Structure 1
């Protein structure tokens, strides 16, 4: 079965009239813009791939990676090791201080609390409890007497005065006249005021209804007619125009994309056949054999010669180092011998040198500074 699009609603004459001209005009205007846009996008991608990414790697990624591996990582390891060492030292110092404080402060304070302060506190508590009991009995007696006096002065006297004098005076002086005034004066006056308010409210409501009808006739009806017969058709026409222009721009942009890709493929084909293919041919036919010849005939022999020369130079440097060490040892031995001869000429005996500066041999001894080393005896002489 053929794939058919969903049925659309009936289109008006305005839609059919503006669709084709608008799409033609938009296509003519959008194709150059799409070509320029694709050209700029391709140039930006090439610039990013060939310039910005290598520059970013050369200026940021490689230096930061090297600094991280060669500087920051060893520095961090050294800092961590130093911090661990300092932490271990601080922990050991803290344990020593805690043990010293427990021995010199906590133990004496605990003994003082158990042996001195606890018995003293118990004695003080017993004394306070005894004195507090006596004082509480005295205060209870005083409170009972004072309470009776205060009740007579502040409770019984005001209650008697209220019951015998103030209550009758308030009842017959205020309550009875106020009740008569409310019933015979204020209630009729309030009813009359309520009736007057209802009449005034009905009049105001009638006036408001008349004003509302006038506003509807003079303002609402014209606005509704203008909205229904002018603004609604104009808005629908504007919506149709905007929708058609938007769809035309979308179709033109897609068609311009196809045109741009076709133009790009054409330029790519021309560039490959005019530039790429000859360059590749020159690279494969000329430059690759020449490079292989330079690598096999020049670079590799030069590398082997450089390796041989480097090895010879290394051997010469190591031989010179050994000769220098031997000459330095011989000079040191000559200086030591001259110092011993000078000491023997001045004092008459061998110089007093520390045993740590002399090389230990099988015949050396450390019993006396002036003792003569014993001769070495081989196993053959002892067996013979």
Structure 2
């Protein structure tokens, strides 16, 4: 990779004052010229002939194969996007978003508010009950127990502890004396005889009868024999190591050298060629995919231009020039008068319906008055006086007192006697 070009710094050599001729004469000794020569970018390594030979045919073949695939891919992408915008999004909104939004606003929100209100009420009730129970427990249980503890149990416990402490001290002194006596007796009976036996009898016997002969045997017999065996083992290990090195040299000569030659002479060039082919094929696919994208977009723009000029412009001209004036004339000359006539007819029908309703209500009121008059006349003919109906606003108590305000006890007489 070429190094970045640095800005030329002013030359500080004495020969630079002499102009270009002096600089050329002393180019071998001027450090500024050497620095400028070092700052030039180094040449890029040229690619191999295999890469150059493979690149063009592979790109041509891949471009021919990839262009139809890219065109079909772009068409599918456009179709899927249009289908998602025009079909899936409205269906999703109509079947999921709107129903669930209505369900959330109209059902779940009121139910949640009701549940929260009930929960707050239950929580307030439980809190009040808990406060009442806590007050009862603190007043009727805790305070008596605290008074009992401070007044009765604490002095009683301190006196008991003082008495038990004195008894414990006496028992401790007694047990300590008894333990000292027993310890002295047990040491005199069980420890001191065995210590004397070990110190004066068994220890000298073991030292002179077993340890000293064993040490002499280890020093003068076992140690020389072990040294000889170790020497023999080292000689055998050296022989085995020499044999192993010889076998390794033979194996390397028969296996490693041919394998290394095969790797360097055959596999390495073949791998490099395969790597070049794979790299160029991948680069060709990427280049062909990008070029096919440009081709596909250009073809799409061309088809869009043709469709607009062959179909869109005539349709737009027909709509703007013919259909829009006709539609405006139909709206102004036909639809609006018809709407006004329909509105006037509707208003007349509503006025007629209101008049009919008022006439019907008046007829029904007149019929009710006629029926009421006939009933009064029939009652007067049967009883002999005008009918008496109890007032709805007065309280009937039948001579007893009542709690209703303004109630007056009525006489306990029948209706016929009152009419007579």
TM-score with structure 1 setting the length: 0.78
Residue 24 of structure 1 is matched in structure 2 by: 60
Report 1:54-69 matches (<5 A). 54-69=90-105
2:151 paired with 1:115? yes
* 1:300, distance to aligned residue in structure 2 (A): 6.2
Residue 212 of structure 1 is matched in structure 2 by: 248
Q: After superposition, what is the alpha-carbon deviation per residue over 1:57-94, rounded to whole angstroms, capped at 9, x for unaligned?
A: 11111222222222222222222222222111111111
Report 1:224-235 matches (<5 A). 224-235=260-271
Distance in 1, Cα, partners of 2:80 & 2:95: 20
Secondary structure of 2:153 counterpart: helix
* 1:370, distance to aligned residue in structure 2 (A): 3.6
Residue 406 of structure 2 is matched in structure 1 by: 366
Report 1:150-299 matches (<5 A). 150-285=186-321, 288=324, 293-294=330-331, 297=336
Residue 376 of structure 1 is matched in structure 2 by: none
Q: After superposition, what is the alpha-carbon deviation per residue over 1:130-160, rounded to whole angstroms, capped at 9, x for unaligned?
A: 2212211221121111121232234323321
The list of structure 1 runs, each at least 4 consecutive aligned residues, that deviate by more than 4 angstroms after superposition, is 5-8, 285-296, 298-316, 340-344, 353-358
Contact 1:31/1:253, CA 8 A, preserved across alignment? yes
Contact 1:355/1:366, CA 8 A, preserved across alignment? no
1:207–1:139 distance in 2 versus 1, CA, 3 Å: same
Residue 15 of structure 2 is matched in structure 1 by: none
Between the two proteins, the alignment pairs up a number of residues equal to: 346
1:303–1:44 distance in 2 versus 1, CA, 3 Å: farther
1:298–1:276 distance in 2 versus 1, CA, 3 Å: farther
1:306–1:230 distance in 2 versus 1, CA, 3 Å: farther
> Unpaired runs of 5+ in structure 2?
1-40, 370-378, 380-386, 412-420
Structure scoring higher RCO (CA < 8 A, sep ≥ 6) equals: 1
Distance in 2, Cα, partners of 1:52 & 1:160: 107
Distance in 2, Cα, partners of 1:307 & 1:149: 133
2:115 paired with 1:76? no
Residue 46 of structure 1 is matched in structure 2 by: 82
Distance in 2, Cα, partners of 1:306 & 1:194: 132
Distance in 1, Cα, partners of 2:230 & 2:338: 121
Contact 2:397/2:408, CA 8 A, preserved across alignment? no
Contact 2:62/2:284, CA 8 A, preserved across alignment? yes
* 1:286, distance to aligned residue in structure 2 (A): 5.3
Contact 1:26/1:249, CA 8 A, preserved across alignment? yes
> Unpaired runs of 5+ in structure 1?
331-337, 345-349, 359-364, 372-384
1:187–1:307 distance in 2 versus 1, CA, 3 Å: farther
Distance in 2, Cα, partners of 1:86 & 1:306: 60
Residue 352 of structure 1 is matched in structure 2 by: 397
